[in-house]
Structure 1
Amino acid sequence: MPPILGTLRRLVLTPKLRAVTFARRGFPGASAPAAEHLESIPQSVICGFEWGIEHRELWDVERRLATVAPELRGFAYEGAAMAFAVRDAMAGGKGTRTKVLLEGPGLPHIFLTYIGIGFAMARLPRVLWRGIMPDLENVPFFPTMSWLAVDGYGFDRAYFHTRKVVDEQQPFKPYPWTGRPDYFPRAADQGVGRALWFIHGALPDRVAAAVAAFPQARQADLWSGVGLAATFAGGCPADGLADLTVAAGEHAAELALGATFAGTARLAAGHVPEHSRLGVEVLTGGSVEDAVTVAASVAVEADDAGTEESPAYELWRERIRDHFRRPVSKAA
């Protein structure tokens, strides 16, 4: 039985499942065929958060997470990582729950647990961000992929503050994440691109129109987020994904980049659903295994700090984009 304090944390901090439904959020994609499927994703995040914010022992949380269907389990781990990051912050930054989770049972879902930390950032004042990302040991792609936390922050802001972030397109204020405040808004925009997939119910024409409404300078990062969400979350048939590639035009390689990261994350977690295989195949032209090979072959070294122009994370992304850049077919 959880302690009273854990129960109070759960009651006070856990969002209601209905709060993340598209209808409640007023999303234009609320009536889309894929809406119910997509809504199960943030609801799985909430379940993971609820378990993580309430229970004292990691074992209790881990066993509950194991009951979630493999397709959704990574999202539940996102929620648990979010809860642990909040609890560590509440402990004055001295907590170790997030580190233990990411180095332990959350390791197969490391891409998503990074994102979960970003969800916590969206609910904490910036003064508490300094120590929110633990120093991880023996974790692949660390600290390079820790930028996914900023991606998660951008997604959360777009999902819950849609009018400001999407409709009014208010830019993100820079923050020196890994010492690179200049790249922070770009990484956050990648999360906004993922959110657009949900907001518009995985309807390719509406998602493409939403991206096109942003300034040209922001569209490349938005498209990579769209590619990641389209592949990892799914919700769109093959012909719709093909239409998405045409709509992306010169940014088709950004879609392939996002799909590559999604395929890599799915394979690392040990379960690749059919919609993720489909997304990789349509958006990259190859298999999930091919995409993972591409990502691994051009990965930056763990101690690579990047260049003056780009952090190591963006250098890796650029190498993947270069692999997929090819002549773009014109719509008839």
Structure 2
Amino acid sequence: MVTSVTAQRTPFLFRPLVLDDRSIRLDKTGHLPGDPEVRRRLEGVVAAFAAGYGAGLASGRGPLEPDAPTAPGTAPAPAGVPAALAGFAYEGAAMSRALLDVLTGTRGRRVAGLLEGPGRRHFHLVHVGIGWAYSRLRLRPWSGVPGARGLPRWLAWDGWGFHQAYVRPGPVFYEHRVERGARGPAMPVRDQGAGRALWFHTCADPETVGRVIAGFPPHRRGDLWSGVGLAAAYTGVRPPDVLASLLRIAEGHRADLAQGAAFAAKARVLAGEVPGDVRDAIETLCSASPATAAKWTDIAHDEAADHGDSLEDYQYWRTLVRREWRRHDGGLVRREWRRHDGGGGQW
């Protein structure tokens, strides 16, 4: 929970923004019960996010205070956060710093400072955290955000969607409401973020995930499965046998699951921290090692970036990751892959 020390370290003017992690706990935000051990681990993710949020708020534009020296090639975790959860802490730090940047008109300098330091190894999660901030402020990250560049900046819409689904699971998952600001080209990315939140909402239960997604219109299911794949792989809270059932339940959306898991692989490999349970999850969902799956995203990124860095190019990136998975998995590409592929789980 938030402590007096956290509040005291935060500049006085910003103390109203201090986050009590009890307010975002799974049992406080309308999420479903489930396996106690899985619930405990997911609550650890929430706590890491809250710790990073507080560290970002307290440290201003400076680096986050590391907990301990880290091995070469790894990003330091903020104080009190296990190395395996460091990405979630940087996501939280990005949210608080983006909030400060918007509220103080500093044109992204605080976020840029995070990306220029150790946070560059967690740049996927940093961009997602930016989306949390814009969603909390009821603003749309439509044209990206100051300090964020290239295709990854569109991950802000993923974070935006995660926030909406996490804090309002009923309207998002059971009434299928879409916020007015996300109706349009950004909706597939918003839905990917909602899919990530669904993994938390269901306490990582494949049967419940499948039932919830089956209630959505068919054209939205691929993006939701993509988000589920990303969350399932990055958190690593379920063993291979449970993830095998997730693959079975996903039926025709294995490519979407793999696309999401491949981006989780890239984020983990870049950070230099691939715990054993995360490795097992990636290998199950991608049928490939984390390094191989991460490479798919690199190949796809380079090809998509040749076209530009628009939202359309970002979605083309996701399409190309699915193509790389199909090639690896031994499947036949039965039609020409075009830029305007209409698949549901674009990246």
TM-score over 0.5 for the alignment?
yes
Aligned with 1:153 (options 157, 160, 171): 160
Equivalent residue runs for 1:96-115 within 5 Å: 96-115=109-128
Residues 107-129 of structure 1 deviation map (CA, whole Å, 9 limit, x = unaligned): 000000001101101111327x5
Q: CA deviation at 1:130?
A: 6.7
Q: Judge which range, 106-115 or 161-170, deviates more.
A: 161-170
Q: CA deviation at 1:20?
A: 2.1
| 4+ aligned runs moved over 6 Å, structure 1 | 1-5
**1: distance between equivalents of 2:319 and 2:259?**
9
Aligned with 2:49 (options 38, 45, 50): 45
1:77 matched to 2:90? The reply is: yes
Equivalent residue runs for 1:1-332 within 5 Å: 6-8=10-12, 11-59=15-63, 61-63=64-66, 65-67=77-79, 68-126=81-139, 129=141, 133-136=145-148, 142-174=149-181, 182-299=184-301, 300=303, 302=305, 304-305=307-308, 311-325=312-326
Note if contact 1:93-1:132 (Cα within 8 Å) is conserved in structure 2. no
Q: CA deviation at 1:184?
A: 0.8
Note if contact 1:117-1:132 (Cα within 8 Å) is conserved in structure 2. no
Residues 213-270 of structure 1 deviation map (CA, whole Å, 9 limit, x = unaligned): 1111110000000000000012211111111111111111000001100001000001
Change in CA separation of 1:31 and 1:24 when aligned onto 2, cut-off 3 Å:
farther
**2: distance between equivalents of 1:75 and 1:2?**
18
Note if contact 1:262-1:276 (Cα within 8 Å) is conserved in structure 2. no
Amino acid at match of 1:19: S
For residue 317 of structure 2, give the secondary structure of its aligned residue in structure 1: helix
Q: Cα RMSD over matched residues?
A: 2.6
Q: CA deviation at 1:2?
A: 8.9
Q: CA deviation at 1:30?
A: 4.8
Change in CA separation of 1:311 and 1:131 when aligned onto 2, cut-off 3 Å:
closer
Q: CA deviation at 1:32?
A: 4.5
**2: distance between equivalents of 1:146 and 1:103?**
15
TM-score normalised by the chain length of structure 1: 0.86
Q: Gapped runs of 5+ residues in structure 2? A: 68-76, 332-347
Residues 44-81 of structure 1 deviation map (CA, whole Å, 9 limit, x = unaligned): 1111111211234513x343644321111111111111
**2: distance between equivalents of 1:296 and 1:91?**
35
Change in CA separation of 1:13 and 1:288 when aligned onto 2, cut-off 3 Å:
same
Note if contact 1:208-1:248 (Cα within 8 Å) is conserved in structure 2. yes
Amino acid at match of 1:171: V
Amino acid at match of 1:313: Y
